[in-house]
Amino acid sequence: MGAKRKSYTPKYRQDAAHLVIDTGRPIAQVARDIGVGEQLLGRWVAIERSRMEDPPDALDINERAELDRLRREVAELRMDREFLKKAAAFFATENSNPSGRSS
């Protein structure tokens, strides 16, 4: 017997479609992230766009380049923040126990 097909609520379908529409992320990437097929998500996006009175335009090449640059910058800033949090925790530990230092 075949596997039972997954069913998704209308709200889930709408939210998934808006992950693509509102963020400008590719359907393939969003589909991987949420664990649904690309074709299925593509249908949901098409349906949702047809329901919208004024769907947002696709990003042009300059906007896409800017978005990619900003995503890289955000990733770098997050790494910097994590490093600084670890450094602050290390120095807080060092300062709270100065006699525990080894020679």
Same domain, 37 and 73: no
Domain count, the chain: 2
Residue range(s) defining the domain that contains residue 48: 7-54
Q: pTM of the full predicted structure?
A: 0.52
Burial level of 17, CB count in 10 A (0-12/13-18/19+)? buried
Same domain, 47 and 24: yes
* Cα–Cα distance, 88 to 70 (Å, whole number): 26
Q: How does pLDDT run along the chain (103 residues), one tens digit per residue?
A: 567 778 899 999 999 999 998 888 899 999 999 999 999 999 999 999 888 877 666 677 888 888 889 889 999 999 999 999 999 998 888 887 766 555 4
Give me the pLDDT at residue 57, please: 67
Give me the pLDDT at residue 64, please: 80
Same domain, 16 and 43: yes
Same domain, 46 and 63: no
Does residue 73 contact residue 49 with C-beta atoms inside 8 Å?
no
